Amino acid sequence: MKPSAFVFASLLASLTACAPVRPDAVASAHEAAPAATATPVAAMDSERDIVLVVANPLEPAPTHAGSNMLGYAPSAHYGAGQRAVSVLSDLKQAYGMREVTGWPIKALSAYCVVLKPAEGADRDALIAQLSRDDRVQLAQPLQDYSVYSDAPAAQDGKKYNDPYTDLQRGFVETQAALAHTVTQGQGVHVAVVDTGVDMSHPDLQGHIHDSDDAVDNNSAAFNHDRHGTEVAGVIAAVGDNRQGMVGIAPKSRLSIYKACWYPPDQRAARCNSFTLAKALAAVNDTDARIVNLSLGGPADPLLSKLLAQLLNEGRIVIAALPPDGGTGGFPDGAPGVIVVRSSATTPAGPGILSAPGKDILTTQPGGGYDFTSGSSMATAHVSGIVALLLSLAPQMDARTAHDLLLRTSSVTNGMLEVNAASAVAALRSSQEKPAP
């Protein structure tokens, strides 16, 4: 399928909804999590619902002779422990709340639920009350998040037989083909937290290591999702398969975490605090060094905790700059996150990287290709370039990667933007210098 003329797919999202529960025996036995509906995200309301977190220790609860306490699920299947179940039951009764869904967060030794306040209750006042309750670790609104996307000459370097390579504006402008003479991202694991992805796309098939659906476990919807498919193609589309395009890091491997979805009859993808928390906690259990977050929204206590943990473990988190250019939300406001905007003629803010994000040819659901725009695509370019760097220097940290990309950015068509070839060359040069 030939790419059509420039199509700008605006994927502005505001979120409401959440992930389905995978109830374990303990949770279901104590009614800590209700049975999942066919479309659990539809039951969520970001204007009313509350996200609440209580302690759920990993250690099994002590028992005594004759006790029928269920304790905790085995470590291989971390579920809701007796303490969390009992606390949640008391809280729901005391504050008149109804549970929509819940999920254990192993990374935080906690159990997280989405709750509906009683009809007519003031949500802000209820959150304030809950925050003062010693049994509650965290209480906050269920918040909305958006993906940042709007719905291209030959170059020196590695030659590909993929027919659309010369139409890939970002691939050409960052001189990725030249960088590919040195590295193509071999052995680097990239986690993409986004919508679903067309797993059978000929330019992605075989490069996706695994996937996880934090929304509704609907495989048909997962494979039909557009935004994640676009991001995945920019990062790791297969090279030299005589079709389509080439990713910035075509030999990296991807893990896809669906936290955003398309509501019926809407073009905008949505995600929320709970689905994003599920995805980030799942990433925490992998060896992924790069986490691509082509989305954003308001600051969020729960998401901030999970993001901080990923950063403390040495993950390199790459996030899109919001359309309004402001920072301070999730994930762009977290110290240590690499923030990326679409290249522009105006100067970027301090420390913000610029990358191609306008009229970007990339993969589409159904095995197709088309053009799209937005800082989501710019972020995917940087994730791909960082994968090239990590394949040469596996121990590189986020600060080093950021500074190297900023230092080696170059002017293309009057705009300063990251350059894959220059970054790789500078890294190789530093590695070849003899020790003093």
Token pair for residue 220? 């048909």
Q: What is the DSSP string of 357-398?
A: -SSEEEEETTTEEEEEBSHHHHHHHHHHHHHHHHHH-TT--H
Half-sphere exposure of 89 (CA within 13 A, CB side): 13
Give the Cα separation of 287 and 283 in Å (integer).
Answer: 8
Cβ(38)–Cβ(66) below 8 Å: no
* Active-site residue (options: 201, 207, 227, 381): 227
DSSP calls for 42-87: GG--TTT-EEEEEE--SSPPP--TT--------GGG----HHHHHH
Q: Are 16 and 149 spatial neighbours (Cβ–Cβ below 8 Å)?
A: no
Decide if 321 contacts 340 (C-beta within 8 A). yes
Residue of 149, 252, 273, 376 marked catalytic: 376
Supply the angle between the helices 301-312 and 273-284 in degrees, to the nearest 10.
Answer: 20
Let me know if 376 is a catalytic residue.
yes
Choosing from 150, 162, 194, 332, the catalytic residue is 194
Which of 431, 424, 235, 413 has its CA nearest to residue 340?
235
What positions carry a catalytic annotation?
Answer: 194, 227, 376
